[in-house]
């Protein structure tokens, strides 16, 4: 993806090296990260081994890291994340009024290992990136990008961009009231809780595709970028994560959708570029 490698965003909140919340005081998030923290935790108990290592780097120290000058690769990654975040949000500022909603910018929190969120408990690196509707912030430990490449087999900068765009997609859902409506329906229909969650996640994938469509229109994409994003969407499909965890594929436990579902809905947004085409809640099939 073409971007300014010296870019700085005003919407980045950098907590790296600042320490995090107590690991003993962790409370479950209202919307869990990639593949589902609960699913991985359950499988860890079943197979009596730490399956969070599938999405986290080994040997991570829980102690806060000292804040110091960023290396050149770090600065380049910071610039990329900031550029992508701002480009996504600028796109939604232009697109969202067509849905009858003014876009309000979110903050992206960069953290190391763990950090408190404003209303969603303590975020852990092992959970993967997540959006907290209570404080309207996206939380990201950049170590996830390494896991995305090394452990989940989804390399490339546009794979990383897809991750950010997906989480901002949840912010869009929050602004539109979709998130609150989903939580009410889940409380009223607990037997359909996972199925409703899948539709929510697939809509966020489609919203990521809407942004990707705009980057293509503006000639920001480079050869292979779309394949990288599709690869990332497939890599975090519930069926693939279940297989990697050594479990049988069980659709009843899905919270995000299969690899085929996730790539389909990202592609829908990418090809059509319209948020109104992302209504997964009315789709007959996913």
The tens digit of pLDDT for each residue in 96-124 reads 998 899 999 999 999 999 999 998 999 99
pLDDT score for 170: 98
pLDDT score for 204: 98
* pLDDT-derived band at 279, boundaries 50, 70, 90: very high
pLDDT score for 126: 85
Beta bridge partners, 14, equal 110
d(CA 176, CA 179): 8
d(CA 69, CA 258): 41
d(CA 151, CA 144): 10
Q: For tokens 């309207």, what's the residue?
A: 136
Which tops the pLDDT comparison, 108 or 40? 108
For residue 54, give the nearest of 139, 127, 135 by alpha carbon: 127
pLDDT score for 30: 42
pTM for this prediction: 0.84
Beta bridge partners, 205, equal none
* pLDDT-derived band at 17, boundaries 50, 70, 90: confident
**Which parts of the chain are beta strand (E)?**
12-14, 107-110, 114-116, 122-124, 130-132, 137-140
pLDDT score for 70: 57
283 located within any domain: no
285 located within any domain: no
- Chain mean pLDDT for the chain: 85
25 located within any domain: yes
For residue 213, give the nearest of 269, 161, 262 by alpha carbon: 269
For residue 167, give the nearest of 31, 64, 2, 8 by alpha carbon: 31
Domain limits at 175?
Answer: 12-278
Q: Radius of gyration (Cα) for the chain, nearest Å?
A: 18
The arithmetic mean of pLDDT across residues 21-33, rounded, is 39
208 located within any domain: yes
How many distinct structural domains can be found in the chain?
1
4 located within any domain: no
- 130-132 and 114-116: which strand pairing? unpaired
pLDDT score for 73: 61
pLDDT digits (tens, 9 = 90+) for 243-254: 988 999 999 999
Beta bridge partners, 13, equal 109
Over pLDDT 70: what percentage of the chain?
A: 81
pLDDT digits (tens, 9 = 90+) for 122-176: 999 888 999 999 999 999 999 999 999 999 999 999 999 999 999 999 999 999 9
3 located within any domain: no
pLDDT score for 74: 83
> CA torsion, points 136, 269, 228, 217, in degrees to nearest 10?
-100
d(CA 68, CA 204): 35
Q: How far is CA 266 from the centre of its chain?
A: 13
Which tops the pLDDT comparison, 90 or 125? 90
Measuring CA to CA, how many Å separate 206 from each of 74, 241, 271, 272?
Answer: 29, 20, 10, 10
- What are the two backbone dihedrals, phi and then psi, of residue 279, each rounded to the nearest 5 degrees? -80, 80
Tokens standing for residue 207: 């919203």
pLDDT digits (tens, 9 = 90+) for 185-230: 999 999 999 999 999 999 999 999 999 999 999 999 999 999 999 9
7 located within any domain: no
With contact defined as beta carbons under 8 Å apart, do 29 and 114 qualify?
Answer: no
């Amino acid at each position: 993806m073409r971007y300014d490698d010296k870019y700085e965003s005003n919407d980045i909140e950098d907590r790296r090296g600042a320490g995090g919340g107590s690991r003993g005081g962790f409370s479950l998030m209202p919307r869990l990260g990639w593949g589902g923290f609960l699913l991985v935790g359950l499988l860890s108990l079943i197979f009596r081994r730490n399956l969070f290592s599938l999405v986290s780097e080994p040997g991570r120290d829980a102690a806060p890291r000292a804040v110091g000058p960023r290396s050149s690769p770090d600065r380049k990654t910071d610039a990329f994340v900031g550029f992508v975040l701002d480009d996504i949000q600028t796109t939604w500022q232009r697109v969202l009024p067509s849905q009858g909603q003014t876009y309000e910018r979110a903050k992206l929190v960069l953290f190391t290992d763990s950090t408190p969120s404003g209303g969603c408990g303590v975020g852990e690196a092992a959970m993967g990136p997540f959006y907290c509707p209570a404080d309207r912030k996206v939380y990201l430990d950049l170590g996830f990008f390494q896991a995305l490449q090394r452990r989940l087999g989804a390399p490339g900068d546009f794979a990383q961009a897809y991750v950010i765009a997906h989480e901002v997609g949840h912010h869009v859902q929050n602004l539109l009231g979709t998130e609150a409506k989903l939580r009410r329906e889940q409380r009223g229909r607990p037997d359909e809780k996972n199925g409703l969650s899948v539709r929510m996640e697939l809509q966020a994938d489609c919203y990521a595709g809407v942004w990707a469509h705009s980057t293509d229109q503006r000639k920001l994409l480079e050869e292979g970028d779309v394949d990288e994003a599709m690869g990332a969407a497939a890599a975090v499909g519930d069926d693939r994560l279940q297989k990697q965890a050594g479990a049988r594929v069980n659709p009843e436990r899905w919270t995000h959708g299969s690899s085929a579902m996730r790539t389909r809905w990202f592609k829908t947004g990418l090809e059509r570029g319209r948020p109104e085409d992302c209504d997964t809640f009315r789709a007959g099939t996913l």
